Amino acid sequence: MLLAPLVGVDRDTRDRRLKKAILVTFVLAAANIPFIIVSIRPTVSSAIAEQQMAQLWREPASIETADLFNGPWVGAAPNPNATYAFVKPKLHGNSPGLTVHDPKGEEWSVKQGAEASVEVAVSRVLSAIGYHQPPVFFLPSFTLQRNGAVERAPGGRFRAKLESLREMGDWSWHQNPFVDTRPYQGLLVALMMFNSSDLKDSNNTVYEMVPPRDGAPRWYVVRDVGSALGETAKLDAREGDPDLFERLSFIRGMHDGFVEFSYHGWHQELFTKRIRPDDVRWTCERLAKLSDAQWHDAFRAGGFDPPVADRFIRRLKAKIDEGLKLGNRGAR
């Protein structure tokens, strides 16, 4: 039984619920017993969704001039020369990590491993085309004080915990104000282009913005986007793998006016007979405005070596061209 987590549920609790739901699903499937999948529907009228759209997405003033190295959070980057104090280990998710405090007392969530670089690069691109993202940065290594000793620790994705971004809990892919709107559809397309394989509600966060930012009092954010740039398997997917990313296809074809993607990750029902050519074109038109320098800045922000970044960028640009051509074949 797959149920959408509620806003306000803490992360450890929702992870336990997710694991339980997965186990129950496998048990029911093995016993050939039907199980419930949450219906996909908007929670408000289309008029209200349009009024609230700034909570999910806003049209950028100029994609062509967006800073994809520093991102939209000017002055919020962690100090690479500071000593960070250990607070606690990361207990959820598949990637190692920890929580630390910087010398100013600010708290940072550090994700280590392969997902760290991917998350920063993908986050930069999503921000550039109008989707809200929290302040995330990559440090290749950092100085850590733990148990009275100082060591040089492996780097990772640093995400600041700011008073201006108050976490309110998860939001559901299946039921939210923006289901079926073009920006919601376009977000799914963008994640498909990156081969994002971890589209779980527990990776979505609603933030209360204090004060409002970008015209919105709250943000609907796809936050943990590190499981990407590889394959799209449900379990044990490999992220940040240029060989896999180059090899796997993007669009498999068309059926009954809907786009069929080569996607094997979580919640395939979000894409089955739901995405039309114009949804794909809408996203690709925005991504096509990014220059080569901006693409390289996004991957440089994630700490990728230039030759590896080149391979990812070439494949992404090929997907953009594929999507633009697809859009010419049919309209919504």
Tell whether the model's pLDDT for residue 167 goes beyond 90: yes
Is 115 within 8 Å of 227 (Cβ atoms)?
yes
Written as one string, the DSSP assignment of 246-259 is HHS-SEEEEETTEE
Tell whether the model's pLDDT for residue 229 goes beyond 60: yes
Q: How far apart are CA 106 and CA 151, in angstroms?
A: 20
Which backbone phi and psi does 314 adopt, to 5 degrees?
-60, -45
Q: How far apart are CA 25 and CA 5, in angstroms?
A: 16
pLDDT one-digit tens code per residue, 59-86: 999 999 999 999 999 889 999 999 999 9
Amino acid identity of residue 306, one-letter, is P
Residue 102 token pair: 């910087």
Query: In sequence order, what are the beta bridge partners of 88?
Result: 99
The number of C-alpha atoms within 13 Å of 77 and in the hemisphere containing its C-beta is 16
Written as one string, the DSSP assignment of 42-101 is ESS-HHHHHHTGGGTB---S-GGG--TTT-S-TT----TTSEEEEEEE--SSSS-EEEEE
The pTM score is 0.86
Is 244 within 8 Å of 311 (Cβ atoms)?
no
pLDDT one-digit tens code per residue, 116-129: 999 999 999 999 99
Omega before 211 within 30 of 0, i.e. cis: yes
At residue 6, the pLDDT reads 47
**What is the overall mean pLDDT for the chain?**
88
Domain ranges for the chain, please list them: 41-67+165-327, 83-124+134-161
pLDDT one-digit tens code per residue, 259-276: 999 888 878 899 999 999
Written as one string, the DSSP assignment of 179-228 is TTSHHHHHHHHHHHHTT-----GGGEEEEEEEEEETTEEEEEEE----S-
User: Which run of H or E residues covers position 108?
Assistant: strand 107-111
Q: How far apart are CA 140 and CA 305, in angstroms?
A: 12
At residue 240, the pLDDT reads 87
Q: How far apart are CA 110 and CA 155, in angstroms?
A: 8
At residue 238, the pLDDT reads 79
Tell whether the model's pLDDT for residue 57 goes beyond 90: yes
Q: How far apart are CA 13 and CA 169, in angstroms?
A: 11
Q: What is the mean pLDDT of residues 295-300?
A: 98
Q: How far apart are CA 133 and CA 204, in angstroms?
A: 11
**pLDDT tier, 29 (very low <50, low <70, confident <90, very high otherwise):** very low
Angle at 148 between CA 145 and CA 154, to 5 degrees: 30
Tell whether the model's pLDDT for residue 45 goes beyond 50: yes
Higher pLDDT, 192 or 19: 192
Angle at 145 between CA 144 and CA 151, to 5 degrees: 55
Is 239 within 8 Å of 118 (Cβ atoms)?
yes
Q: How far apart are CA 20 and CA 250, in angstroms?
A: 32
**pLDDT tier, 2 (very low <50, low <70, confident <90, very high otherwise):** very low
User: Cβ contacts of residue 99 below 8 Å, gap of 6+?
Assistant: 87, 88, 89, 90, 107, 108, 109, 110
**Strands 83-89 and 136-146: what pairing?**
parallel
At residue 15, the pLDDT reads 53
Give the 3-state secondary structure percentages of the chain, helix then strand then coil, rounded to 5.
35, 25, 40
**pLDDT tier, 326 (very low <50, low <70, confident <90, very high otherwise):** confident
pLDDT one-digit tens code per residue, 168-223: 999 999 999 999 999 999 999 999 999 998 888 999 999 999 999 999 999 999 99
Tell whether the model's pLDDT for residue 43 goes beyond 80: yes
At residue 322, the pLDDT reads 95
